[in-house]
Amino acid sequence: MAIETPDSGITLAPLDVSKLKVTLTSTPKDIPPAESLKFGKTYSDHMVFITYDPATGWSDPEIKPYAPLSLDPASSCVQFCSNVFEGMKAYVGADGTPRLFRPSLNMRRLERSAARLALPPFDGDVLLELIKRLVQVERRWIPTLSGCSLYLRPTIVGTMPGFSVVPSESATLVVIASPSGPYFSGGVKPVSLLAVSDTVRAWPGGTGGHKVGGNYSPGFLPQKIAEKQGYNMVLWIFGEDKSVTEAGAMNFFVVLKRDEGGLDLITPPLDGTILPGVTRSSCLALAADPSFQKNIASSLHAHERKFTMNDILLWSKEGRLLEALCVGTAAILVSVDRIGYEGSDIFLPKCEGGLGPVGRAFREKILAIQEGKEEFGEWSVPCE
């Protein structure tokens, strides 16, 4: 679909997969053993590369050898962080077919993120086809060890040079791939959280609901402070009522025992400050599925609603707080064993194997779908 500029009437070139040019490296790298892989530290041989020029539109897409980008120091991405990205994974199924997990959700979110920063528009469905082509080219890089994957990072950066505070009219779009092991190197172990309210991850009307680069670097200092105090991550608290939002760069759930039997699964609502995570969406959908509930031997009632640190304190004192979960594409899911709040710790029940019944059921089910061992709707998308 061509892009029309209303001011000039010029028709600009859209993303066009039929014009893809593939140039393979003449020096392919050795692939390290899956057991040695760390998250995001190794990169495959090739990348997708496309540029946007305001006079002509999107360039012909390329898959070419992985290489540094050339950027003007005055580029918008350097000066004003006009950067958006996605995180998604490719797996090899039991039949040997590479698969992506719910990739259309990533494409819709990337489209929204780019629009929020006024970056050039693009068709996410076309980009998805290019990503599938990259996965096919890099197929040998997909680890087959369970829990490992080929992590894909589509990124769009504004490249227009200048110090004027205006949207970037030019951009570069790249997709790189990284064969990766577990996000947390220690395996499936609970993490500890430090609840903070003196710094803020996102605010109403801001960009918290989008995957933009500027959302992440302000969290680095609070993360370092939390680690110095003996905690793994930050639990972001917002407002005078100390509403719970996210944990680190992950969505957050709690599991509660119901008075009348069964379990409540609660996560904060998508109010613009919460990232609409793909794993978050998947957990909510699975929780509503009767066949999934058989895996936890209990009825599960999912809710998207606001809750506060005072609620967590009360639930803990009442013995209702059974699990707290951090979920996201990189880690899939980890449980929480304690939450530091105002000088004291809230302890979660100890779980055998690092996960409670609900967290374990979610993680095992999502992994089985991602690795092509089980089907659930059209979540597992072959790269054919």
CATH number at residue 153: 3.30.470.10
* C-alpha closest to that of 334 among 303, 358, 315: 358
Helix (H) or strand (E) run with residue 104 in it: helix 103-116
Is the same domain home to 226 and 358?
yes
Percentage with pLDDT > 70 across the chain: 97
Compute the mean pLDDT over every residue in the chain, rounded to the nearest whole number. 95
The answer, yes or no, to whether residue 272 has pLDDT greater than 60, is: yes
Is the same domain home to 198 and 171?
no
Average pLDDT over residues 62-81: 98
Last residue of a domain, one of 141, 157, 180: 180
Per DSSP, the three-state class of 355 is coil
- DSSP 8-state class, residue 55: T
Q: Is residue 342 part of a domain?
A: yes
- DSSP 8-state class, residue 119: P
> pLDDT (tens digit, 9 = 90+) per residue, 335-355?
999 999 999 999 999 988 889
Q: What confidence score (pLDDT) does residue 186 get?
A: 65
CATH of residue 294's domain is: 3.20.10.10
* C-alpha closest to that of 179 among 62, 326, 35, 277: 35
Q: Write the single-letter amino acid at 150.
A: L
Range of the domain at 107: 3-180
Last residue of a domain, one of 116, 145, 180: 180
Per DSSP, the three-state class of 224 is helix
> pLDDT (tens digit, 9 = 90+) per residue, 14-27?
999 999 999 999 99
* C-alpha closest to that of 339 among 199, 191, 219: 191
Output the CA torsion 267→310→207→150 (10° steps): -50
The answer, yes or no, to whether residue 6 has pLDDT greater than 70, is: no
> pLDDT (tens digit, 9 = 90+) per residue, 307-340?
999 999 999 999 999 999 999 999 999 999 999 9
Q: Is residue 381 part of a domain?
A: no
Q: Is residue 384 part of a domain?
A: no
Average pLDDT over residues 225-245: 97
Q: Is residue 377 part of a domain?
A: no
Output the CA torsion 273→39→175→108 (10° steps): -30
Radius of gyration of the chain (CA): 22
Count of structural domains within the chain? 2
Q: Is residue 135 part of a domain?
A: yes
- Is residue 3 very low, low, confident or very high in pLDDT (cuts 50, 70, 90)? low
Q: Is residue 185 part of a domain?
A: no
Global confidence as pTM: 0.95
Average pLDDT over residues 352-372: 93
CB neighbours of 38 closer than 8 A, spacing ≥ 6? Answer: 180, 181, 185
- Is residue 384 very low, low, confident or very high in pLDDT (cuts 50, 70, 90)? confident
Residue 162's alpha-carbon distances to 18, 57, 75, 136, in angstroms, are: 34, 20, 6, 38
Is the same domain home to 21 and 141?
yes
Q: What confidence score (pLDDT) does residue 9 get?
A: 65
Last residue of a domain, one of 130, 159, 180: 180
The answer, yes or no, to whether residue 1 has pLDDT greater than 70, is: no
Distance in angstroms (rounded) separating the CA atoms of residues 334 and 244: 17
Q: Is residue 379 part of a domain?
A: no
Is the same domain home to 149 and 201?
no
Is the same domain home to 94 and 147?
yes
HSE of 89, CA atoms in CB hemisphere, 13 A: 32
Is the same domain home to 316 and 266?
yes
Is the same domain home to 147 and 296?
no
Q: What confidence score (pLDDT) does residue 321 get?
A: 98
> pLDDT (tens digit, 9 = 90+) per residue, 122-176?
999 999 999 999 999 999 999 999 889 999 999 999 999 999 999 999 999 999 9
Q: What confidence score (pLDDT) does residue 306 get?
A: 98
Direct distance between the N- and C-terminal alpha carbons of the chain, in angstroms, rounded to an integer: 23
Is the same domain home to 200 and 166?
no
Distance in angstroms (rounded) separating the CA atoms of residues 287 and 291: 9
Percentage with pLDDT > 90 across the chain: 88
Is the same domain home to 199 and 299?
yes
